[in-house]
A and B are shown apart, each in its own frame.
Chain A
Amino acid sequence: MTTTSTAYRSTAVAARATELSKVYGQGETQVVALDRVTVDFRQGEFTAIMGPSGSGKSTLMHCVAGLDTFSGGSVRIGDTELGSLKDKQLTQLRRDKIGFIFQAFNLLPTLTAQENITLPMDIAGRKPDKEWVRKVIDMIGLSGRLGHRPAQLSGGQQQRVAVARALASQPEIIFGDEPTGNLDSRSGAEVLGFLRNSVRELGQTVVMVTHDPVAASYADRVIFLADGRIVDEMLHPTADGVLDRMKEFDAKGRTS
């Protein structure tokens, strides 16, 4: 099940959503969270998903990452079609092919940093690739704190452990849900730097939901969502560029 990431092959697709729809409720109370979204996440690319609150950016990530079910369309991770999978298979898929970084509660307080990093492999009952794990830990700069428990680490260090955990099992794709949302700007910059390095140097694929234009500027590509639809895309974004684009949507939102 282990897949070695093939670096610098930006033409292959790591994850793909086709005509993806997600509808909550029925009849008059029906809410369309995702409206036939089609998007590719290419291997070795760092993608940021942006959009105002309620635009469906988190829902899109949850559906693609196999955390949530969807109402229509299809999602593929690598060769696997998610729509037909049962909970158990989805769980296995997440375990073996996906890495996660959440905004908070990434770590188990009872486990040390080291144990947290290898947790997905422990769950899978796989032996971690020691060399790779050491490489990841070196890159994240946590070597001295591996025996610490989360409570003994700062917020920034905790998120770095979370990044290391996501990278350690060499997943096909890593999803981040506002991974810097709870951090100050310096710690946030460090974490984003690591994510970008993992893409540049290790060929990892990363998809991140954020509402912070600075965070988005670390990505190779930014997708803008509004009302459940992809409304724009920006390659090689800068913080100012993203901010301007966001302001445009806000202005539109206000006038409409």
Chain B
Amino acid sequence: MLRTALRNVLAHKARLLMTVLAVMLGVAFVSGTLVFTDTLSQAFRNQSAKNYDDVAVAVTSYADGSNPESGSGVSQKTVDRIGALDGVTAVSARVNGFAGVADPNGKLIGVGWSNKGANFAPGKDGKDPAYAFGQGSGPAAADQVALDQDTAAKGRYKVGDRVRVATNGPVKEYTLSGIFTTDDGAVSAGGSLVLFQTPVAQKLYLAPGHFQDVNVSAAPGTDDEKLLDQVVPLLPKEAVARTGAALADEQAKDIEAGMSGLNQVLLAFAGIALFVGVFLIANTFTMLVAQRTKEIALMRAVGASRRQVTRSVLAEAGLVGLVAAAVGLGLGVLLAVGLRSGMSSFGMKVPGGPLVVTATPIVSALAVGVLITMLAAWLPGRRAAKIPPVAAMNSVHAAPSAKSLLVRNIVGSVITAIGATAIAGGAGMGDENGRYLIGLGAFLALIGVIVLIPQLSRPIVALVRPLLVSVFGVAGKLAGQNAVRNPRRTGATASALAIGLTLVTGLSVVGVTVGQSVDKMTTDNIRADYMVAMASGGPLDGSALAAVEKAPGVSAVSPLTSTYLKLDGEFAPTSAVTPGDVEKVLTVKTVSGGIGSLADGRIAVAEDSARKHGWKVGDTLPTVFGDEKKGSLKVGAVFEGSEFLSPVLVGSELAAQHEKKPNIQQIFVKMDGGQSAAGEKALISALGENPAISVMDRQDIRDQFGGMINMMLNIVYALLAMALLIAVLGVVNTLAMSVFERQQEIGMLRAIGLDRRRVKRMVRLEAVVISLFGALVGIVLGVFLGWAIGQSLKDDLPGYALVLPWGRIGIFLLLAGLVGVLASLWPARSAARLNMLNAIKAE
């Protein structure tokens, strides 16, 4: 039977090509992802190992100058004591934080990546082993800095140039003392690194004489673990010490975890490709079996058992799967190479290294390819086995399976109903668990609809038939009828598009809805004309607030300063704001009391918290302040909670009494005469033209919150592209089969006067009808899904309102129609070129 299978594969190369393409695409994504991940993590692992090669013990403290809670780090004294331990050959102590470098136009270099500043820690030889200087040398004075090579190149800076560097404080100008290269991961990933003299860095980031990290090198032969035991007792409690090897391991793991997002996206693509591919494969084999009815019947007549017939079909599928998987594997490796170079062209420097192709991707590629193909061919194989031997004797062309769809419809309806119920139920629950239920329901509903799709095809296509007839005449009429002639095949073909469009529509609805409500939230809650924040997302320096307050044309200013407060013995997320101005820059809807009482040293609490704790206006609450001092605060107002306001508001001056350094998240500014170019310029210049500080107008604020959503949608649209690609293959396949089956009909039509143009149009319209049908099913299901997810998010999104992106949905339909047109190019051509005389000759 294997020989028969092989012969069959060779005899239907063209038809099977579509199957091969679908399987190949899926396998390519699977193996490509695995190879890419393996290669990259190997490279990163090598690099980490190299970085910590000569580190015996690494000390890390998470001290941060802007957050006194985090501790004060490791003092110079401790560093010295570590240096004096037996076997220690060198100690390098590090301190780092945010530092942005302005290019000559005042723009931040390396936006979006990490912009880091650190201390230059020369050893006894005057060199810091972590940095290799190509030009100049490390900073030797307080007003000198060194830059990494890429950043210097981007800013076209040369040694001796003056460079503007912004840290959390004001911008300062430094002289460039040198340009270096480094293995630092952040720099590799496209970030920038500024080196300061150690005291400068300490002052900027922590406290004079203190470090965050200490790397200890030891003489050869020293036991790292023993050294670690000696180091630990010397350290402050918040610092952690590990051996260099352990740290390298940990870092590699972190990197892998960081890559898992990309990994998941890629594997999702593979999953979709394979899921959609299953339908294409099943369809192809169904057609092949139908086409071979007589052949199979003959085999049965001469003694082949049912089992042998099924096995022969499965063997054929296995062979096809194997070929497709092998090609897919090759393609996957290329994909991995492409991804790597793609990443570097995005500015990420991926460490070099050999391509790592382990057994895992090879085995999984082959297994996935072969198994998926055989799984998809299983049903057609069983159907083939049911062909009775007598079919060989029958001279009449075997009628296409006219088997009732009843069982199928019942099964489909039940599954769809369960799925829809789960989705609706999940939407009602409106929380995380609800979303899981929606996910499960979506999967079931999709399967159910796919089972039902043949039945759906008739009424839905019947709806458009009048349009087809009136616009396209007889070609439209015939196309409409042809599209539902074999509902199973039409259904399987449309499924590919339905799946893709369900996902894409669902996510578009969610994305646009969330985007819109975030947008609305922004407009509703922000009255300010501008928002000032660090580009790095870190806290702003107090000097920035002072600068903004003094800027000309400013009418109201309030910061949102994260403040530590314990009220009634419980930690309360608190923002310090400017009394009198806060309600001018943000929407504060007072429920009771007056927001103006903030000026009198009272606090305002959000309705939810007030209700939860039973607080009322006039209550006096025992308080613990940031500096651990105890006292009490009186509730002056209760307000409606909003996304932009912490549950507790307190006046800035009161908060400042208890905090060394304010942790300013944002500053909201209202200008005389509203938003204007002059106003924006005044603010920027008041802030010292600091490239690290961004001044955002209302549109920028909206974009900032909407940016994530757009990025997510772009990934989704890439998914759509792939679903469409596979759908094209499916439609081509179905049409080719239809044209083949209807040769005689087409020949007859040509003979009685249907011209080639209209034969083409007939085939093309059939493709478009099938594609649009699939798209429509997907869009309806997707909108339902989007609605359900939206419902479950409702509680987290005040001002939520379902938005249906009609424009985008229209584009999806248009694309689906285009899929039909594209897919029909070749089948329509071959239908129009059909040899009339051969076609109408009786069998």
User: Which residues of A come within 8 Å of B, CB atoms?
Assistant: 62, 67-68, 87-88, 91-92, 94-96, 99-100, 102-106, 108-111, 119-120, 122-125, 151, 165, 177-178, 181-182
Contacts and interface: CB of A to CB of B under 8 A. Distances in A.
18 contacts: A67-B751, A88-B757, A91-B755, A91-B756, A92-B755, A102-B840, A102-B842, A104-B744, A105-B747, A105-B840, A108-B478, A110-B481, A119-B752, A122-B473, A123-B752, A123-B758, A125-B473, A181-B842
A124 B477 CA distance: 14
Contact of A91 (B481, B748, B750, B843): B750
Given A108-B478, A119-B474, A100 B755 contact: no
Contact of B751 (A100, A122, A178): A100
Given A87-B756, A88-B755, A108 B477 contact: no
Contacts of A62: 837
Given A68-B837, A102-B840, A123 B754 contact: yes
A105 B748 contact: yes
Given A110-B481, A110-B485, A119-B474, A100 B749 contact: no
A62 B840 CA distance: 11
Contacts of B749: 108, 123
Contacts of A104: 744, 842-843
A67 B756 CA distance: 13
A103 B473 CA distance: 28
A108 B745 contact: yes
8 smallest beta-carbon distances between A and B, as pairs: A95-B753, A110-B481, A105-B744, A91-B755, A103-B842, A122-B474, A104-B842, A94-B753
B215 interface: no
Contacts, number: 76
Given A102-B748, A106-B748, A108-B745, A67 B836 contact: yes
A123 B758 CA distance: 9
Nearest to A106: B748
B192 interface: no
B119 interface: no
Interface string B749-786: 11111111110000000000000000000000000000
> Chain A at the B interface: mostly helix, strand, loop or mixed?
mixed
Interface in B821-843: 836-837, 840, 842-843
B694 interface: no
B482 interface: yes
Contacts of A124: 753
B417 to A, nearest CB: 32
Contacts of B474: 119, 122-123, 125
A92 B748 CA distance: 14
B480 to A, nearest CB: 9
Given A88-B756, A109-B485, A110-B482, 12 more contacts: A87-B756, A92-B755, A94-B751, A94-B753, A100-B751, A104-B842, A105-B747, A108-B478, A120-B752, A120-B753, A122-B473, A123-B753
Contact of A182 (B399, B756, B837, B842): B842
Contacts of A106: 748
Contacts of B477: 122
Contacts of B756: 87-88, 91
Interface in B656-711: none
Given A62-B837, A103-B842, A110-B478, A91 B745 contact: no
A167 to B, nearest CB: 13
Nearest to B759: A91
Contacts of A94: 751-753
Interface residues of B, number: 27
Interface in B601-629: none
Contacts of B399: 151
Contacts of B481: 110-111
Most interface-central of B748, B751, B755 (chain A CB within 10 A): B751
B481 to A, nearest CB: 4
A96 B474 CA distance: 15
A68 B754 CA distance: 15
Interface string B448-482: 00000000000000000000000001100110011
Question: Taking each of A62, A87, A94, which has the highest tally of chain B beta carbons within 10 Å of its own beta carbon?
Answer: A94
A91 B837 contact: no
Nearest to B743: A105
A38 B605 CA distance: 107
Contacts of B745: 105, 108-109
Contact of A96 (B747, B748, B753): B753
Contacts of A102: 748, 751, 840, 842
Interface centre among B399, B477, B758 (most CB of A within 10 A): B477
Nearest to A104: B842
A97 B836 CA distance: 18
A120 B754 CA distance: 8
A34 to B, nearest CB: 14
Contacts of A68: 837
A124 B474 CA distance: 9
Contacts of A123: 474, 749, 752-754, 758
A156 B779 CA distance: 47
Interface in B396-436: 399
B68 to A, nearest CB: 81
A160 to B, nearest CB: 16
Nearest to B482: A110
Nearest to A119: B752
A120 B748 CA distance: 11
A105 B839 CA distance: 10
A2 to B, nearest CB: 14
Interface string B177-200: 000000000000000000000000
Contacts of B750: 91
A92 B756 CA distance: 11
A54 B757 CA distance: 33
Contact of A67 (B482, B744, B758, B837): B837
A151 B758 CA distance: 25
Nearest to B755: A91
A120 B755 CA distance: 12
Interface string B477-503: 110011001000000000000000000
Contacts of B748: 100, 102, 105-106, 108
A103 B840 CA distance: 8
A151 B751 CA distance: 22
Counting chain A CB atoms within 10 Å of each CB, the highest count among B481, B752, B840 belongs to: B752
A161 to B, nearest CB: 13
Contacts of B485: 109-110
**Most chain-A Cβ atoms within 10 A of its Cβ — which of B485, B744, B755?**
B755
Given A68-B837, A103-B842, A92 B753 contact: yes
B129 to A, nearest CB: 81
Nearest to B473: A125
Contacts of A109: 485, 745
A96 B485 CA distance: 29
A105 B836 CA distance: 12
A82 to B, nearest CB: 14
A101 B205 CA distance: 95
Contacts of A92: 753, 755
B415 to A, nearest CB: 30
B457 to A, nearest CB: 14
Nearest to A110: B481
Contacts of A151: 399
A100 B842 contact: no
A102 to B, nearest CB: 5
Contacts of A105: 744-745, 747-748, 840, 842
Nearest to B843: A104
A103 B839 CA distance: 12
A123 B752 CA distance: 9
Interface string B147-163: 00000000000000000
B739 to A, nearest CB: 15
